[in-house]
A and B are shown apart, each in its own frame.
Chain A
C-alpha cells in the first residue's frame, strides 16, 4: 500500500515538474509548481513528517506561489516563444543530467535492501539518542515518544524543542534577516515614488 502511494505521488511530482518546464504559459507553469509541491508534501507526510509536509503546503503552495501568480497576472506576461537551442547548450544539459542521475543511482545503490518496507521507528532507541545528544532526560517529548497511546512520532514537539533550545540564536538571525528584507523592499519601493 505504502509503495503504491509512494509511486503515485512521485509520478504526480515528476509529471507536474515536467509541466513547470515545458509549459509556455507562465500561469500554467506556476500552477504546475503548486501540484509539484503538493506531491512533495504528500511524500513528507508518508514519512511521518507531518509538520514539514503541512508547512510545505502552507508556505510554498499557499503563500509563495500565490504571490508568483499574483505578479504574473498583474504584469500580464505573454506566453514564451519557442526558441531554437544551440547544440552546445543541449550537450551541456545532457552531461549535467547524466552526472546528477549517476550520483542518485550511486546513493540509491549503496542503501541496504529492506525488502521494499521500512521498519517502524524504534522509540526506545530514539529516546536514548535524544538523551545522549544532551537533551533533558525528563523532557515531555521522551514520555510522548514512549507513550503507546500515541502511535505517531511527535515531530512538532521535536522541531520546536530543537529550534528553541539548541538553535535559538540561528533562529533569531534568520528572523532579523527576513525583517531586513521586508524593510528593504519598503524602502526601495518608496524611493521610486519620489
Chain B
C-alpha cells in the first residue's frame, strides 16, 4: 500500500463518517418538520443563529435547522442515570453495539463515481471506503450484529418491559433478515455482480435499474431485456423496502419500542447520551438502508437516463473531479429523498400488531421472494 492509497482511504473514511453522522441530525430535523406538516402543526422553527446575543436586532431562525444541535446539548446535559438493578457492563456496552454496526456498514457504499484526481496526474480514486466484491452481503452480515445491542440492552436492564422489547426485536430482525436477503437476489442475478461500485457504474451507463432508459448517440435506448425483468425487479424493490422498515425497527413495524404496550421497549431504563446512542443508531441504520436502496435500485450516484455518458472519460471510465463532486451531491439528494419517504410512511401508516408482522414476513414476503427469484431466474435463462 503506497502513501497515496493510504491517504485517500483515510480521507474517505473521514468523509463517510461525516456524511452519516451529519445525515443523522438532518433526518431527526426532517422527522420533526415532516411530522409537523402531516399533523398540521409548525414544528420546531425557531432555533437558528442567535444573532441577538452579539448585538443584532433580530435572530436568524434558518427554519429551525439548528434544532438538532439544541437537542444534542439537551441530551448531553441530562443526568446519565444507571439504575442499581442492571448488569453494569452490558448496560454500558449495549448502546455502542447498536451504533457501531450501523456506521461500519456504510463503508462499502459507493457515495460517488471514480474520480480523476486533480493534482495527481493519472491517478483515479473510487469514492467508497472499501470497494469489495461482496458489498450487499457485507452490509447484511454487519447489520445482523445490530440485534446484539438490542437484545443485550433488554436483558441487561433487568426489568420486564425492556426484556419483552428485546425479545420482540430479535425475533423480528431474524425473520426479516431472510426476506431482506432473498428479495435482492433477482437484482444480483440481473447485474451478475456483488460489487456495489460496479453496480452503480453499470446503472450510470444503462439508466437506473427501475428507470432503464438511456440516451445514446441518437435518441433514447431502451433495453427490452431489462424491461421484461422490470416486474420482478419492482417486486424485489417493494419486498426489500418493506423489510428494511422492519429491520431498522421503524414504524409501522416499531413493535420493539411500542410505547402503548412496552413503555419504550428495550431502552426504557436508558437516559442521556446512552439513550441518544440508541436513537442515533436507529437513524444511522435508516441512512445506510436508504443508501443501499438508492445504490441498488436508483443508480446510486448516477444521473438519470445515462446522462453521465456525456461527461465520462471514454478511455478510463473515470470522471473529472467536478463531476465526481456533483455525483456526491446527486447521491446525497437521493438518500435524503428516501429518508423523507421513511418519515412520511412513519407518520401515515398505523402500527402493525405483532402477529400481523410475523405473518407478513413469513407467510407473504418469504414465499413471494422465493417465487420472484424463480421467475427472474427463468426469464434470465431464456432471454438473458
Contact = CB atoms under 8 A, between A and B. Distances in A.
Interface of A: 1, 27, 31, 34, 50-51, 54-55, 57-58, 61-63, 66-67, 69-70, 73-74, 140, 150, 152, 154-156
Nearest to B163: A73
A84 B18 CA distance: 54
B169 to A, nearest CB: 11
Q: How large is the interface on B (under 10, 10 to 19, 20 to 34, 35 or more residues)?
A: 20 to 34
A65 to B, nearest CB: 8
Given A54-B138, A58-B137, A70 B170 contact: yes
A152 B197 CA distance: 14
B269 to A, nearest CB: 16
Interface of B: 1, 90, 132-134, 137-138, 140-142, 144-145, 147-148, 151-152, 155, 163, 166-167, 170, 174, 177, 192, 194
Given A27-B155, A63-B174, A66-B174, A154 B144 contact: no
A189 to B, nearest CB: 16
Contact of B140 (A34, A50, A58, A156): A58
Given A73-B155, A156-B194, A62 B145 contact: yes
Given A27-B155, A70-B151, A70-B170, A63 B144 contact: yes
Given A1-B1, A154-B133, A156-B194, A58 B144 contact: yes
Nearest to A73: B155
Given A51-B137, A55-B137, 6 more contacts: A50-B138, A58-B141, A61-B141, A73-B155, A73-B163, A156-B194
A149 to B, nearest CB: 9
A50 B144 contact: no
Nearest to B146: A62
A54 B148 CA distance: 17
Contacts of B155: 27, 73
Minimum-distance CB pairs A-B, first 5: A62-B144, A58-B141, A57-B141, A54-B141, A50-B134
A34 B133 contact: no
Contacts of A55: 137, 141
Nearest to B192: A140
Nearest to B139: A54
26 contacts: A27-B90, A27-B155, A31-B148, A34-B148, A50-B133, A50-B134, A51-B137, A54-B134, A54-B137, A54-B141, A57-B144, A61-B144, A62-B144, A62-B177, A66-B144, A66-B147, A66-B148, A66-B151, A69-B148, A69-B152, A70-B167, A73-B166, A74-B167, A140-B192, A155-B133, A156-B133
Determine which residue in A34, A51, A73, A140 has the highest number of CB atoms from chain B within 10 A of its CB, and name it: A73
Contacts of A73: 151, 155, 163, 166-167
Contacts of A152: 132-133
A104 B347 CA distance: 60
A69 B155 CA distance: 10
Contacts of A63: 144, 174, 177
Contacts of A34: 145, 148
B220 to A, nearest CB: 29
A168 to B, nearest CB: 15
Contacts of B194: 156
Contacts of A74: 167
Nearest to A74: B167
B151 A62 contact: no
A57 B142 contact: yes
B288 to A, nearest CB: 16
Contacts of B174: 63, 66-67
Nearest to B138: A54
Contacts of B132: 50, 152
A51 B147 contact: no
Nearest to B181: A58
Contacts of A155: 133
A118 to B, nearest CB: 16
Determine which residue in B145, B151, B163, B177 has the highest number of CB atoms from chain A within 10 A of its CB, and name it: B145
Contacts of A50: 132-134, 138
Contacts of A62: 141, 144-145, 147, 177
Contact of A66 (B137, B163, B170): B170
Contacts of B147: 62, 66
A53 to B, nearest CB: 9
Contacts of B1: 1
A74 B133 CA distance: 38
Contacts of A140: 192
A160 to B, nearest CB: 10
Contacts of B148: 31, 34, 66, 69
A24 B28 CA distance: 42
A50 B137 CA distance: 10
Contacts of A67: 174
B305 to A, nearest CB: 26
Contacts of B145: 34, 57, 61-62
A156 B148 CA distance: 28
Contacts of A69: 148, 151-152
A154 B194 CA distance: 10
B366 to A, nearest CB: 13
A52 B202 CA distance: 26
Nearest to A61: B145
